């Protein structure tokens, strides 16, 4: 007590040279709790002067709270002990009722034997009832405990030093969550467990990363980025977290940003194929096909059988109109994985572009066998059938694509042109208009509309449509 009298603490107000003189113990005060003479002169805490004490009272307070806290913990532990005692009584009762040896049974009189059989045949239903009842009680109790822990708001305390108990619990939950993510692919469940892990240690880097990945797998890309960012605050060079962020950005269509974050990871690990893929696909979506090919080649130097890179290269070559080269690379992808839906679609589309429509239908069908809802493959099949003159069939397959994506431009124009070929000019105009709502500059749709109007002898409107189509780059001509 006396030695505490000599302790001096500088006033937290940096403009004050005095030491702390008083402490505010008011429960709802928001001001600096420790303060000096100068602070008093400035009039702080005057509204609740009855709760001000001199500094030595602070040390008495510390000791008192420590003792009271021990007291509380002792009482809580006793409550749990009493609970355990009651539980033991229950266990003992269950044993007494249901467990007897054959010898004990044989020593019973006939009335006792009868009673035992009567009771024990109902063991199963007793078992079911007690298990359920306990589970309900335990769930309630556990969730109340978890709530109480989270209400301690430990991670928000500036003086809190995370305990080993919490670190271990957090790690244990992370391992469980990781298994759900990695082995079982139960992403919703994984997130629940990982959130619990983060309750015990909000800075568990891998739990943050794994949560980001699970969210990404569920298509919740914005939330995935938030979690990846938290992981990157702890380690800004972690390739896995960087990949989660880059890939989520790519899925959100933010290709330039995706490339920036993929590049950061590639600085750390230039040979990680999935990272290169994120960059390649982003470049491809930005229309930078030559660059995409350069980067796909880099991935293929690391792993010549990296299917996604083989596919990306083929698609880039296709978009550059280099169909013969494109076929070579898509075939390599299909050698690695004959069931890669993307590559099967790519091959169908390339075959369509080189006029091999029957072949194109065959390969689109292979993709559709694996994924009957692959919109692009449905559209490629529809368009190939159109080119083969099977207009009714073409409409059927275009409709299937449009059921999945009513704004799929290629399917809309395929349907419009097929209807025009079938002589249904009014219908053709309706579907060409739908296509033009999605892409007002789609040359093919403008031409279908113009031709249909002309065939309906609406020359004025036809002229308007063909003027519009002439103003558009004829390279888009299909």
- Figure out which of the listed residues 21, 22, 23, 24 binds Zn ion, where binding follows CB under 5 A: 24
By beta-carbon proximity to Zn ion, the closer residue of 9 and 470 is 9
In the complex with Zn ion, which residue's Cβ is closer, 12 or 338? 12
Window of 25-33, 73-81, 216-224, 276-284 that interacts with Zn ion by CB under 5 A:
25-33
**Cβ of residue 14: shortest distance to Zn ion, in angstroms?**
9
Interaction residues for Zn ion, span 191-250 (CB under 5 A): none
Sheet holding 34-35, edge to edge: 34-35, 22-24, 52-54
Distance (Å, rounded) from C-alpha 472 to C-alpha 248?
A: 34
Q: How far is Cα 313 from Cα 434, in angstroms, rounded to an integer?
A: 32
Closer residue to Zn ion (CB): 26 or 331: 26
CB of 7 to Zn ion, least distance (A): 17
Q: How far is the CB of 9 from Zn ion (least distance, A)?
A: 11
Site string for Zn ion, 175-194 (x = CB under 5 A): --------------------
- Closest CB to Zn ion among residues 29, 430: 29
- Minimal distance, residue 21 CB to Zn ion, in Å: 8
Residue of closest CB approach to Zn ion: 29
Candidates 16-24, 129-137, 151-159, 242-250 — which segment interacts with Zn ion by CB under 5 A?
16-24
Residue number, 57 or 298, with CB nearest to Zn ion? 57
Of 17-25, 238-246, 402-410, 426-434, which segment contacts Zn ion by CB under 5 A?
A: 17-25
Measured CA to CA, the distance from residue 122 to residue 465 in angstroms comes to 83
Q: How far is the CB of 184 from Zn ion (least distance, A)?
A: 53
Give the shortest CB-71-to-Zn ion separation in angstroms: 27
Q: Does 367 bind Zn ion (CB under 5 A)?
A: no
DSSP 386-439: HHTT-HHHHHHHHHHHHHH-TT-HHHHHHHHHHHHHTT-HHHHHHHHHHHHHH-
Report the alpha-carbon distance of residue 204 to residue 86 in Å, rounded. Answer: 38
**CB 436, CB 446: distance < 8 Å:** yes
Is residue 356 a contact point for Zn ion (CB under 5 A)?
A: no
Q: How far apart are CA 204 and CA 197, in angstroms?
A: 8
Considering the complex, what minimum distance in angstroms separates the CB of residue 129 from Zn ion? Answer: 56
Least distance in angstroms from the C-beta of 55 to Zn ion: 12
Q: Which of 16, 291, 421, 454 binds Zn ion (CB under 5 A)?
A: 16
Stretch that binds Zn ion, among 18-26, 159-167, 311-319, 416-424 (CB under 5 A): 18-26
**Cβ neighbours of residue 281 under 8 Å, at least 6 residues apart?**
250, 292, 312
Q: Can you tell me the distance from the alpha carbon of 135 to that of 139, in angstroms, rounded to the nearest whole number?
A: 6
21: contact with Zn ion by CB under 5 A: no
Measured distance CA(334)–CA(309) in Å, rounded: 12
H/E run at residue 52: strand 52-54
What number of H helices and E strands is found in the chain? 24, 3
Cα 209 from Cα 336, distance rounded (Å): 30
CA-to-CA distance for 127 and 138, rounded, in angstroms?
A: 16
Least Cα distance to 443 among 416, 418, 421 occurs for 416
DSSP assignment letter at 19: B
Q: Which stretch binds Zn ion (CB under 5 A): 7-15, 113-121, 145-153, 292-300?
A: 7-15
Judged by CB under 5 A, the residue of 4, 19, 25, 26 near Zn ion is 26
How far apart, in Å, are the Cα atoms of 422 and each of 105, 171, 443, 447? Answer: 89, 66, 20, 16
CA Rg value for the chain: 36
Q: Which residue in 11, 210, 232, 326 binds Zn ion (CB under 5 A)?
A: 11
C-alpha distances (whole Å) from 368 to each of 339, 356, 377, 381 are 11, 18, 7, 10
**Window 28-67: residues binding Zn ion (CB under 5 A):** 29, 31, 36, 38-39, 45
Hunting for tokens 């001509």 — which residue is that? 477
Residue carrying structure tokens 């290629």: 410
Does the protein bind Zn ion through residue 259 (CB under 5 A)? no
Contact between 362 and Zn ion by CB under 5 A: the answer reads no
Judged by CB under 5 A, does residue 472 bind Zn ion? Answer: no
# chain residues binding Zn ion, by CB under 5 A = 11
Instruction: Kindly tell me which of 31 and 304 has the beta carbon lying closer to Zn ion.
Output: 31
Q: In a 10 Å sphere around its CB, with 0-12 CB exposed, 13-18 middle and 19+ buried, how is residue 152 labelled? A: exposed
Min CB(41)–Zn ion separation in Å = 9
| Comparison of 21 and 447: residue with beta carbon closer to Zn ion | 21
CB nearer to Zn ion: pick between 29 and 226: 29
Give 14 or 109: the residue with its C-beta nearer to Zn ion.
14
Binding site for Zn ion (CB under 5 A): 11, 13, 16, 24, 26, 29, 31, 36, 38-39, 45
């Amino acid at each position: 007590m006396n030695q505490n009298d000599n302790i001096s603490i500088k006033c937290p107000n940096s403009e004050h040279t005095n030491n702390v003189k008083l402490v505010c113990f008011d429960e709802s005060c928001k001001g600096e709790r420790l303060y000096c003479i100068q602070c008093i002169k400035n009039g702080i805490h005057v509204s609740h002067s009855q709760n001000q004490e001199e500094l030595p009272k602070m040390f008495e307070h510390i000791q008192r709270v420590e003792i009271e806290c021990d007291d509380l913990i002792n009482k809580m532990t006793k409550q749990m002990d009493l609970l355990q005692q009651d539980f033991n009584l229950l266990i003992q009762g269950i044993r007494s009722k249901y467990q007897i040896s054959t010898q004990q049974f044989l020593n019973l009189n006939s009335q006792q034997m009868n009673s035992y059989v009567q009771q024990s045949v109902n063991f199963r239903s007793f078992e079911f009832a007690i298990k359920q009842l306990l589970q309900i009680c335990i769930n309630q109790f556990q969730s109340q405990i978890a709530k109480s822990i989270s209400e301690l708001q430990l991670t928000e305390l500036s003086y809190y030093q995370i305990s080993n108990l919490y670190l271990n619990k957090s790690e244990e939950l992370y391992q469980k969550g990781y298994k759900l993510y990695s082995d079982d692919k139960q992403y919703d469940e994984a997130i629940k467990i990982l959130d619990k892990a983060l309750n015990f240690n909000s800075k568990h880097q891998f739990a943050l990363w794994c949560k980001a990945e699970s969210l990404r797998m569920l298509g919740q890309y914005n939330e995935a980025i938030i979690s990846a960012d938290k992981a990157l605050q702890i380690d800004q060079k972690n390739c896995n977290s960087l990949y989660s962020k880059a890939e989520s950005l790519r899925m959100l269509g933010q290709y330039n940003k995706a490339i920036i974050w993929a590049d950061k990871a590639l600085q750390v690990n230039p040979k990680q194929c999935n990272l290169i893929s994120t960059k390649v696909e982003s470049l491809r979506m930005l229309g930078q096909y030559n660059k995409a090919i350069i980067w796909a080649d880099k991935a293929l130097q690391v792993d010549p059988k990296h299917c996604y890179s083989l596919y990306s290269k083929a698609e880039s070559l296709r978009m550059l109109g280099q169909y013969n080269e494109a076929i070579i690379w898509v075939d390599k992808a299909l050698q690695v994985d004959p069931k890669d839906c993307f590559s099967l679609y790519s091959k169908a589309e390339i075959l369509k572009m080189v006029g091999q429509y029957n072949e194109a239908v065959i390969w689109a069908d292979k993709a559709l066998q694996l994924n009957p809802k692959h919109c692009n493959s449905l559209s490629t099949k529809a368009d190939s059938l159109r080119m083969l003159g099977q207009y009714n069939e073409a409409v059927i397959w275009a409709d299937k694509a449009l059921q999945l994506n009513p704004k799929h431009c290629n399917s809309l124009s395929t349907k419009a042109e097929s209807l025009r070929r079938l002589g249904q000019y009014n219908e053709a105009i309706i579907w060409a208009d739908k296509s033009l709502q999605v892409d007002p500059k789609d040359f093919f749709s403008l031409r279908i509309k113009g031709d249909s109007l002309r065939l309906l002898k609406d020359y004025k409107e036809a002229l308007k449509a063909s003027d519009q189509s002439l103003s558009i780059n004829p390279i888009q001509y299909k």
